[in-house]
Amino acid sequence: MKYFLIFGPPGAGKGTQSTLIARRYNFRHISTGELLRNEIAVKSDIGKIAAVLIEKGEFVPDELVIGIVRKEICNPGGGEKGYILDGFPRNTYQAIALDKMLEETGYKVDAVLSLETTDSVNIKRIQHRANIEGRKDDADFETIRNRIKTYHKVTEPLVNYYKKQSKYMAVDGDQSIEENFVDICKIIDKKLDE
């Protein structure tokens, strides 16, 4: 079982690339954003907390996110050859928790696929997505800016965490979807051959 993480600020294309990766490699796509939106839709206790924070562009508390990810990782679907985690971990605390989670089952993070993009490109992509998907957290400009700022402050420190483990793989995220996917597949193919 292989475990890949996809990194990048809001609007970088993590969800799009994760869907393509899952389809091509028979990986299970775990999107913390999607999991949280599901919790919000069913009005669970986690969903009520998440709704308020996501509307402001803030992160949901670590323990809640770790709990829902653990539930997904510990309940494999059927026949997948690996996982692509989208939106998790978001900080060093979550990264350490993920390492421990995987160690318990004899696995590890194989590679971190990082879509490196510019803020201006991300803002345009998010606004475009808001028009298509109608996501509330994508509609307000100040919320978008806050999400990107929070990413730079909280999540970017993970770059060094994974570079120290030689797992960090940068991809030029400003390219087209197709070009990004080609670059990502080269990295995954190499890791699958190891």
Q: What domain range is 45 assigned to?
A: 2-184
In the predicted structure, residue 76 carries a pLDDT above the cut 70: no
Taking residues 92-106, report their average pLDDT. Answer: 93
Using CA atoms, how far apart are residues 19 and 30, in angstroms rounded to an integer? Answer: 10
Give strand pairing partners of 30.
85
Please check whether residue 192 lies inside any domain of the structure.
no
| Most trustworthy range by pLDDT among 71-85, 89-103, 146-160 | 89-103
% pLDDT > 90, the chain? 48
Whole-number pLDDT of residue 189 = 96
Q: State the distance between the two ends of the chain, measured CA to CA, in whole angstroms.
A: 13
Cβ atoms of residues 99 and 164 within 8 Å: no
pLDDT tier for residue 163 given thresholds of 50, 70 and 90: very high
In the predicted structure, residue 152 carries a pLDDT above the cut 90: no
Dig out the tokens for 37 from the structure.
């939106």
Handedness of CA 68, 72, 73, 74 (dihedral sign): positive
> What string of H, E and C letters represents the secondary structure of 107-150?
CCCCEEEEEECCHHHHHHHHHHHHHHHCCHHHCCHHHHHHHHHH
Please check whether residue 11 lies inside any domain of the structure.
yes
Count how many domains the chain has. 1
In the predicted structure, residue 190 carries a pLDDT above the cut 90: yes
Please check whether residue 8 lies inside any domain of the structure.
yes
Which tens digit of pLDDT belongs to each residue from 53-75? 877 767 788 999 998 999 888 77
Arithmetic mean of pLDDT over the chain: 88
Which tens digit of pLDDT belongs to each residue from 167-184? 999 999 989 999 999 999
Please check whether residue 50 lies inside any domain of the structure.
yes
pLDDT tier for residue 101 given thresholds of 50, 70 and 90: very high
Whole-number pLDDT of residue 139 = 65
In the predicted structure, residue 129 carries a pLDDT above the cut 70: yes
CATH of the domain at 96: 3.40.50.300
Please check whether residue 190 lies inside any domain of the structure.
no
Using CA atoms, how far apart are residues 107 and 150, in angstroms rounded to an integer? Answer: 30
Whole-number pLDDT of residue 124 = 83
Taking residues 118-147, report their average pLDDT. Answer: 74
Please check whether residue 193 lies inside any domain of the structure.
no
Host H or E run for residue 83: strand 82-86
Question: Which candidate, 3, 1, 4, 6, places its Cα nearest to that of 114?
Answer: 6
Which tens digit of pLDDT belongs to each residue from 35-58? 988 899 999 988 898 888 877 767
Please check whether residue 191 lies inside any domain of the structure.
no
Which tens digit of pLDDT belongs to each residue from 132-143? 776 666 667 777
